[in-house]
């Protein structure tokens, strides 16, 4: 029988490693599964200048520190590509493509989202050496230099405008006819009005060339097929992102773009399954926000486990009838009810649930008003009283 963990984290980028550190530090038995080298996207970049408080570490060094920090507190890291997740029930099962099964009470999905690639010659070779997928990350390296932006949607034009704060010239490579872009009109107008931005229409990148660093792109006119050398110091590619969610598309709810939907605690549509980092629907995708997501999901997972274990042990697996009193310290009536119950001669076990701290249990049993009292036999609700009177309390016990 396979070992049962408290938390399994799928993905070893900044979000997953941060979650591992926080979960392990909370004394949760934690396993992190990664398909290859731990570190995520930052592992492929040269510099990291926008992580608060870190002034002299490269991107690979920073995520290596993340890894060491997680392992220092006890996170177990194994190689494995997850094929499917069975998240029904309290104990969940993660199965890898190699057929290995792991079990855990909570799962954190941190598989990230890859920038959509052009898949042209030279792109992989010059990644981090002039080829970039993040203006916010790398614009500083192109001060007073000339760069190209590939793409014409909102992200591409927003990033092109941002790059004009640093670069001397920004040329946008657009696949459409002159004057036609996918970006919203307001972004188009801003781009046209910016003296630093120029456009090359009806074109795609055929290949990227350089000597150690990018020094030109070879552009292809999609109408004529002509190839043209275009000299530049950097190429920023913004043609969309692809979240790594194929293996959970039948498990959790996704957006139309394939990102995982979450609530305020970063829990997915499946109880006990959380999502952190670029794989989830979010506004800003950066290492610092991924790390924050990791901390949030680990803390929320710990709360989920504690709440579920308490409920199972004290209610569902109880050998006697159970009275569950839903109360809140801000509601006098509910406090009066719990006080009365505590002073009664009960022939059942009394369990008190603070609705603020245990919203999950409250929602599960559709407790919308307090005080509410449930009576359970063999784990099943047999009676439910909302704002019960003293007579009703005496009758139910």
Q: Let me know if 138 is a catalytic residue.
A: yes
Tokens 């052009």 -> residue: 118
Residue 137 designated active-site = yes
Catalytic, out of 6, 119, 137, 278: 137
Instruction: Kindly give the interhelix angle for 59-72 and 287-311, rounded to the nearest 10 degrees.
Output: 20
d(CA 276, CA 265): 10
Which residue among the candidates 134, 206, 321, 354 is catalytic per the annotation?
Answer: 134
Q: Count Cβ atoms within 10 A of the Cβ of residue 307 and give its class: 0-12 exposed, 13-18 middle, 19 or more buried.
A: middle
Q: What letter would DSSP give residue 55?
A: -
Encoding tokens for residue 140?
């500083």
CA angle 256–246–239, rounded 5-degree value? 60
Separation CA 385–CA 364 (nearest Å): 16
- Rounded distance between C-alpha atoms, residue 260 and residue 100, angstroms: 25
User: HEC string of 206-266?
Assistant: EEEEEECEEEEEEEEECCCCCEEEEECCEEEECCCEEECCHHHCCCCCECCCCCECCCCCC
Total H helices, total E strands in the chain: 9, 21
Q: Which long-range contacts (CB under 8 A, 24 or more apart) does 289-292 make?
A: 290/13, 290/14, 290/15, 290/18, 290/40, 290/110, 291/14, 291/15, 291/18, 291/66, 292/18
Query: Are 158 and 191 in contact, with CB atoms under 8 Å apart?
Result: no
227: exposed, middle or buried (Cβ count in 10 Å: 0-12, 13-18, 19+): exposed
Alpha helix stretches (DSSP H) within the chain: 14-25, 59-72, 135-138, 154-163, 185-193, 287-311, 332-342, 359-364, 390-396
Which residue in 259, 361, 261, 295 sits closest to 25, CA to CA? 295
Cis bond upstream, residue 371 (ω within 30)? yes
Among residues 6, 29, 138, 391, the one annotated as catalytic is 138
As annotated, the active-site residues are 134, 137-138
């Amino acid at each position: 029988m396979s070992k049962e963990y408290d938390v399994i984290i799928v993905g070893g980028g900044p979000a997953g490693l941060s979650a591992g550190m926080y979960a392990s530090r909370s004394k949760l038995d934690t396993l992190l599964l990664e398909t290859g080298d731990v570190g995520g996207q930052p592992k492929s970049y040269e510099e990291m200048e926008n992580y608060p408080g870190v002034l002299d570490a490269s991107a690979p060094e920073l995520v290596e520190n993340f890894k060491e920090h997680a392992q220092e507190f006890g996170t177990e890291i194994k190689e494995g590509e997850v094929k499917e997740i069975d998240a029904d029930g309290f104990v969940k099962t993660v199965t890898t493509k190699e057929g290995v099964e792991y079990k855990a009470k909570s799962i954190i999905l941190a598989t990230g989202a890859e920038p959509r690639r052009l898949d042209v010659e030279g792109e992989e070779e010059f990644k981090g050496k002039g080829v970039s997928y993040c203006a916010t990350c790398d614009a500083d390296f192109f001060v007073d230099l000339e760069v190209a932006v590939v793409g014409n949607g909102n992200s591409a034009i927003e990033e092109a405008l941002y790059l004009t704060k640093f670069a001397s010239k920004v040329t946008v490579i657009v696949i459409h006819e002159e004057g036609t872009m996918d970006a919203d009109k307001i972004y188009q107008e801003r781009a046209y009005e910016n003296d630093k931005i120029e456009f090359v229409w009806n074109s795609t990148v055929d290949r990227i060339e350089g000597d150690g660093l990018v020094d030109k792109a070879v552009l292809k006119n999609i109408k004529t097929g002509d190839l043209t050398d275009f000299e530049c110091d950097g190429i920023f590619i913004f043609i969309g992102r692809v979240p790594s969610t194929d293996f959970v598309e039948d498990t959790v709810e996704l957006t139309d773009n394939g990102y995982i939907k979450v609530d305020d605690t970063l829990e997915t549509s499946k109880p006990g399954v959380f999502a952190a980092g670029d794989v989830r629907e979010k506004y800003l995708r950066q290492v610092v926000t991924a790390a924050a997501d990791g901390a949030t999901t680990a803390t929320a997972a710990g709360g989920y486990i504690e709440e579920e274990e308490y409920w199972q042990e004290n209610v569902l697996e109880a050998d006697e009838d159970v009275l569950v009193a839903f109360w809140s310290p801000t509601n006098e009536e509910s406090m009066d009810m719990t006080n009365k119950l505590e002073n009664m001669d009960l022939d059942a076990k009394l369990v008190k649930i603070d609705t603020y701290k245990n919203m999950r249990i409250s929602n599960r049993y559709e407790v919308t008003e307090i005080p509410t009292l449930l009576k359970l036999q063999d784990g099943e609700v047999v009676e439910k009283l909302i704002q019960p009177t003293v007579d009703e309390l005496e009758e139910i016990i």
